[in-house]
Structure 1
Amino acid sequence: MKIAALKERHPNETRVAITPDIVKLFIRSKFDICIETKAGLAAGFSDEDYIAAGAKVSKVPLEVIGDADIILKVQPTPIDEKINELSFAKKGALIIGLLLNSEKNLFEAYADKKINAMSLELMPRISKVQHMDVLSSQSNLAGYRAVIEAAYHCLGIFPMLMTSAGTILAKKTLVIGAGVAGLQAIATAKRLGGIVQAYDVRQATKEQVESLGAKFINTHLQDCETKSGYAKAKLDSASVKAQNEILTNAAKNNDIIITTAQIPGKKAPILISKEMIAQMKPGSIIIDLAAGTGGNTELTKADKIVDINGVKIIGYTNFAGLVPNDASRLYAKNLYNVITYAFNDGVLNASDDVIKSMLVTFEGKVVYGL
C-alpha cells in the first residue's frame, strides 16, 4: 500500500503529517511512502532526511497522491486551492487528518469523489486508543506554548524576584479548563515560578490540579461532567451564575488567563465576558486556546491579538504549530498507530467501533453524525 503526504497548505499550518523517523516504521510495515518536496521544511525536516529514511520525494503533487491508498494530513487543504488532495486523490483513497472543523461542504465533496475520510478529533476517549490520540498530544504542546506566549507578551516576569532594588511579585495565572492543555499550562506556569489557580466544572479534576501545585477554585458548582469525560455543553442556571461569580472575581485578580474549554464538533463556550475583561488590569494577558472554534471570550478574534484598554487577548488558532518539530513528531507517531490499528492485510477494518466512530465519509456517503 502507498501512503502519501502533500505539503500542508492550510493557512498558518507549519506541521507535517509524517516525519522521517515514522517513514522508517512504515517501511518496516511494508508500506511505500511518497511525500511532496519541502513538505517538512517548516517543521525542520529536509527532503534529504526523508530520502535517507526511505521515502520517495517528488515535486509533482499528482505523482505524490494520484495513486495513494492513504493520504495523511494535518489539516485539509482549502477547496479553492489549486493544488488539493480532493482533486488528485483516486476513488477509494482514505484521507486521515484533523478534519472536523474544516470548511463547509468538504465532507460532501469527499463523498461525491468517493473518497473515504477519517477525522482524528472523533477518537473515542478510552484507554486502549490513548496511543492514537492526536488531540491529547497536540493539546499538551499547545498548553505549554500558551504559557510561553503569555510570558513573551507579559510586561513583567513570572517568578518572584528579590533584588537590592526591591521585590518583584510572582505573576498570578488562572487556567480555565483542566484537560490535557490546561494541566500542561498549569505545570508550565508553575515551572516558571508563577502563582497558579485553575477552574473546571468537573470536580474530578480537583486532585489533578492540586497535584501540580495549583489552587482549584471551583468550590460552588455541582459536578458537570458527562459520561464521556467532557464538561457538559450546557449548565443549569444556578451553575452558570456560580461560574460567572467565580470567574469575574478571578479575572480581576489574575495577571494572565489561559482558556482551554472546547466541545468536540461544536462552538466553544463563552466563559469570559466583555464585562469581565473590562475589570481586568491593564497589562493583563488572555491566551484563548479555543479561538479556532469561536473562542472562550466574547472579544476573541481568530489569529489576532486584540488590545482592550491594555488587556491583550491572543487568539492564535494553532498553538501546537508554534512548536512544529515536536508537534509533528508526536502527530506522526499517533497517525502511525492509527494506521497499523485500522488496517488488516491492506484492508480498512471499517466495522471496528473505534474506526467507525472516526469515519466522516465512507463509500460515497457522509457518515458523520449518523
Structure 2
Amino acid sequence: MRVGVGREQCDGERRVAATPETVHELAALGLEIFVERGAGAQAGYPDEAFKEAGAAITAELVLESVDVLLHVRPFTPDAAASLRPGTITIGFASPGSELPTVRALAEAGVTSFAMELIPRISRAQSMDALSSQSLVSGYRAVLEAAVRYPRFFPLYMTAAGTIPPARVLVLGAGVAGLQAIGTAKRLGARVSANDVRAASADEVASMGGTFINLDLDAAAEGPGGYARELGEDRAQRQRGLLAPHVAATDVLITTAAIPGRAAPLLVTTDMVAGMRAGSVVVDLAAESGGNVEGIIAGQDVQLPVVGGFVTLVGMKDAASAMPSDASRLYARNVSNLLALMTADGRATPDFDDEVISGACLTCDGTVRHPATAAALAAEVMEGEA
C-alpha cells in the first residue's frame, strides 16, 4: 500500500506527520512511503534523511494516488473531497469545529482516523497524540511567559539585595498543566495550581507545585480522565474563589480544555485587572475560545492596570513552535496507530479492536463518532428549520 506524507498547508504549521525513524519502521512492515519534497524541512528533517530511511521523495503529493495519508492539521473540505473512496487518513481532525470537513470525508467514502479520538486506555498510550503534543505545549507556555516577564523567575540573594522568586499559577493540571508546573519549578519559580478534578492534587504535588483546593464539592471529572464542563453557577463560584489567587500571582498559565467543546472561561477581565503591572497571562486554550476573557489566539494583548499593563498571550499552535521534538512524538503516535492496523503490507482496520473503532471518525460514507454525527444532524435540522 502507498502511504503519503505531505507538506502541511495550514499557515504557520511546522510539524510533519512522519520522521525518518518512523518511515524506516513503516517500510519494514511492507508499506511504500512517499514523502512530499520539503515536508519535514521546517521540523529539521531533510528530504535526504527520509530517502535514506526508505521513502520516495515526490515533487508534489497527489492525494488521489495514495492509499493511506498521514497528516497533522485537519484537511480543508476541498482537500477531503478530492480523496479517493477507501483512502485511509490518520491525523488530527478537530471534529467538533471542522464539521464541513467531516461531512466531506464521509461523502467521499474516506476511512478517517482522528488522533483526538484515541481511547484513554493503557494499551493506547503510545498513540495518545493529545498527550504528546500537550507535553510540548505546556513546556513552551512557560518559556513564552518567561521571555515576556520583566523579572527573574528564580530567587536570587545578592550583595545588592534579594530578588524574590516569581509566583506562577497554573490552571488545569492535565498533561500540559503538569508540564508547565514542572518547567516553571525548574526555572526556580514558586508554583501553585488548581484543577476541578480532585485526583490531580497528588499529581501537582509530584511536580513540585502547591495544589489550591477551592472546595467546589463534587468532582468534575469526565470520561477518559478529562475535566467535565461546570454548570454556570458553579463556574461563577470557581472564578470568585480563584480571584484572590490570580491577583497574587506574577505569571498565570491556563490550560483547561474540554475535548470537542469551547474552552471554559476561568479568568475574567476584572480578575486580570487585579494583577500587578508587568504580570503575564499565557492561555493555551486560546484557539478554542480561551480560558481568559479578552484573549486573542496568536496575539499579545496589553491590558492596562495600575502602574502599567498585564500582557495576555494567546497561544496558537504551541506545539508547532517546537517542531522537531513535537514531530518526533506525533509521528511516533501516528506510526503506532498505523502499525496496529497493518498486516502483510496492507492497512486493514479491524473495527473489533476498541482502539481502532474508537479513533475512527468516518467510514463507508458514514460518520462513526457519535458526538460528531449528532452535531452534523443538528446542523442539518437547524438548516431545514
Distance 1:164 1:106 in 2: 62
After the TM superposition, which residues 57-96 of structure 1 pair with which residues of structure 2 at under 5 Å, given as runs?
Answer: 57-62=57-62, 65-79=63-77, 84=79, 86-87=81-82, 89-96=83-90
Q: Determine the C-alpha separation between the residues in 2 that align with 1:352 and 1:236.
A: 38
Q: Extract unaligned runs of 5+ from structure 1.
A: none
Match of 1:362 in 2: 363
Can you list the C-alpha shifts for 1:51-93, whole angstroms capped at 9, x where unaligned?
Answer: 111100111222xx3321110010024346xxx4642x32210
Write the distance in 1 (CA, Å) between the matches of 2:84 and 2:351. Answer: 19
- Matched with 2:382 is none
Q: Residue type matched to 1:208 in 2?
A: E
- Secondary structure, aligned partner of 1:228: helix
Q: Shift of the alpha carbon at 1:356?
A: 1.7
Q: Check if 1:335 corresponds to 2:331.
A: no
**Which is worse superposed, 100-109 or 148-157?**
100-109
Q: Please tell me whether residue 166 in structure 1 is matched to residue 164 in structure 2.
A: no
The residue identity in structure 2 corresponding to 1:180 is V
Q: Which amino acid aligns with 1:320?
A: A
CA contact (8 A) 1:343 1:349 kept: no
TM-score by length of 1: 0.94
AA partner of residue 369 (structure 2) = Y
Q: In terms of mean alpha carbon deviation, does 334-343 or 71-80 score higher?
A: 71-80
Pick closer, same or farther for the CA change 1:225–1:190 going to 2, 3 Å: same
User: 2:105 & 2:236 partners in 1: Cα distance?
Assistant: 43
Tell me the equivalent position of 2:227: 231
Give the CA deviation at 1:132: 0.7
Which structure 2 residues correspond to residues 1-370 of structure 1 after superposition, within 5 A?
A: 1-62=1-62, 65-79=63-77, 84=79, 86-87=81-82, 89-100=83-94, 103-222=98-217, 223-235=219-231, 237=233, 239-309=234-304, 310-345=309-344, 346=346, 347-369=348-370, 370=373
The CA distance in 2 between the partners of 1:349 and 1:11, in whole Å, is 35
Residue 380 (structure 2) aligns with: none
- Runs of 4 or more above 6 Å deviation: none
CA distance in 1, matches of 2:242, 2:342: 47
Alpha-carbon separation, structure 2, partners of 1:368 and 1:226: 17
The one-letter code of the counterpart of 1:10 is C
Aligned equivalents of 2:224, 2:351: Cα separation in 1: 22
What code does the residue aligned with 1:124 have?
P
The superposition leaves residues 305-328 of structure 1 with CA deviations (integer Å, 9 ceiling, x where unpaired) of 111111111112211111100000
Alpha-carbon distance change, 36 to 86 in structure 1, aligned in 2, over 3 angstroms: farther
Whole-angstrom CA distance in 2 between matches of 1:269 and 1:182: 15
Amino acid at match of 1:355: I
Looking at structure 2, the residues matched to 224 and 76 of structure 1 have their Cα atoms a distance apart, in angstroms, of 30
Q: In structure 1, what residue type is equivalent to 2:331?
A: A
- Letter matched to residue 24 of structure 1: H
Checking the alignment, whether the CA contact within 8 Å between 2:149 and 2:280 is kept in structure 1 is yes
> Does the Cα contact within 8 Å between 1:117 and 1:362 map onto a contact in 2?
yes
* Distance across 2 between alignment mates of 1:326 and 1:66: 30
**RMSD over aligned Cα, in angstroms?**
1.6
Aligned AA (2:295): T
Q: Which amino acid aligns with 1:73?
A: H
How far residue 366 of structure 1 moved from its aligned partner, in angstroms, is 2.2
- 3-state SS of the aligned residue for 1:124? coil
Once residues 344 and 23 of structure 1 are traced to their aligned partners in structure 2, the CA distance between those partners, rounded to angstroms, is: 16
Q: Matches of 2:176 and 2:115 in 1, distance apart?
A: 17
CA–CA distance in structure 1, aligned partners of residues 60 and 81 of structure 2: 15
Provide the rounded CA distance (Å) in 2 between the counterparts of 1:265 and 1:319.
18
1:342, distance to aligned residue in structure 2 (A): 2.6
> Higher mean Cα deviation, 253-262 or 224-233?
224-233
Report Cα offsets for 1:189-211 as digits up to 9, x if no partner: 00000000000011111111112
Answer yes or no: is the 8 Å Cα contact 1:2–1:34 preserved in 2. yes
Three-state SS of the structure 1 residue aligned to 2:162 is strand
1:273, distance to aligned residue in structure 2 (A): 0.8
